[in-house]
Amino acid sequence: MLPASAFLILNGGALGISKVVHQLNEDIRDKEVRLIGEDGEQLGILSSEQALEIAEERGLDLVKISPQAVPPVCKLMNYGKFRFEQSKREKEAKKNQHTVEIKEIRMSPGIDVGDFNTKLKNAQKFLSEGNRVKVSVRFRGREMAHTEIGKDLLDQFAASCTEMANLEKNAKLEGRNMSIFLAPKAAK
């Protein structure tokens, strides 16, 4: 019986080449199988040898699609074409998905207006790209005695982004950092 994966051994390391997902043709060792035709019609319960003969007559592969069933379910299909179409669907799905990242903007309580506006512009750019933004203020030394300055700064930042973002989490002090989370508003 062939292993589930074929490996290429290079300099003591193993590198996976291909991964067999289904059992095919002669690999199916069950005594009886439930056979389904290429159009989905039930062909009944047959011995695996009979099912393999039918597959060879029609020029198709015998593929075990449900090994847990009793008896296991096998289908007649062109396996190469099936794998090609499956990989094509996976590529299409991967192409259409967008991963949402969390971008972070860091400030200090004594930030100047120009720097604040630059950070605000960067956050708006991140939000327009569909990413979430974590805005944090870091307190150092005696700044810890005046955390309300950082809270006001974060509230002002959130207010400046209200047209393109929702405030996901209010200002929260964790250690020496106070942060908020902004999520982009859904496109209408």
Q: Which of 82, 115, 140 is the last residue of a domain?
A: 82
Residue 39 inside a domain? The answer is yes
**Residue partners of 185: CB distance under 8 A and separation at least 6:** 164, 165, 166
What is the pLDDT, as a whole number, of residue 46?
86
Q: Which of 82, 117, 151 is the last residue of a domain?
A: 82
Global confidence as pTM: 0.50
Model confidence over 116-168: pLDDT tens digits? 999 999 999 998 888 899 999 999 988 888 889 989 999 998 888 888 888 88
Number of domains in the chain: 2
CB 128 within 8 A of CB 160: no
Model confidence over 56-74: pLDDT tens digits? 888 888 888 888 888 888 8
C-alpha–C-alpha distance, residues 20 and 5, integer Å: 6
What is the pLDDT, as a whole number, of residue 106?
93
CB 21 within 8 A of CB 67: no
CB 134 within 8 A of CB 166: no
Q: Same domain for 76 and 116?
A: no
What is the pLDDT, as a whole number, of residue 4?
47
Q: Same domain for 70 and 113?
A: no
- Minimum mean pLDDT range among 23-32, 86-95, 120-129: 23-32
What is the pLDDT, as a whole number, of residue 117?
92
- CATH code (residue 147): 3.30.110.10
Strand order in the sheet with 132-138: 102-107, 132-138, 177-184, 165-174
Residue 128 inside a domain? The answer is yes
Residue 93 inside a domain? The answer is no
Q: Same domain for 110 and 71?
A: no
Q: Same domain for 17 and 47?
A: yes
Q: How many CB atoms lie within 10 A of CB 23?
A: 20
Residue numbers of the domain that contains 36: 5-82
Model confidence over 35-57: pLDDT tens digits? 888 888 888 888 888 888 888 88
- CATH code (residue 70): 3.10.20.80
Residue 123 inside a domain? The answer is yes
Report phi then psi at 132, rounded to 5.
-80, 155
SS3 (DSSP) at 93:
helix
C-alpha–C-alpha distance, residues 37 and 1, integer Å: 25
Q: Same domain for 116 and 178?
A: yes
Asked whether the predicted pLDDT for residue 88 surpasses 80, the reply is: yes
What is the pLDDT, as a whole number, of residue 65?
85
C-alpha–C-alpha distance, residues 133 and 164, integer Å: 12
Residue 172 inside a domain? The answer is yes
C-alpha–C-alpha distance, residues 25 and 10, integer Å: 30
- Minimum mean pLDDT range among 1-5, 46-50, 138-142, 170-174: 1-5
Residue 96 inside a domain? The answer is no
Q: Same domain for 70 and 136?
A: no
**Residue partners of 142: CB distance under 8 A and separation at least 6:** none
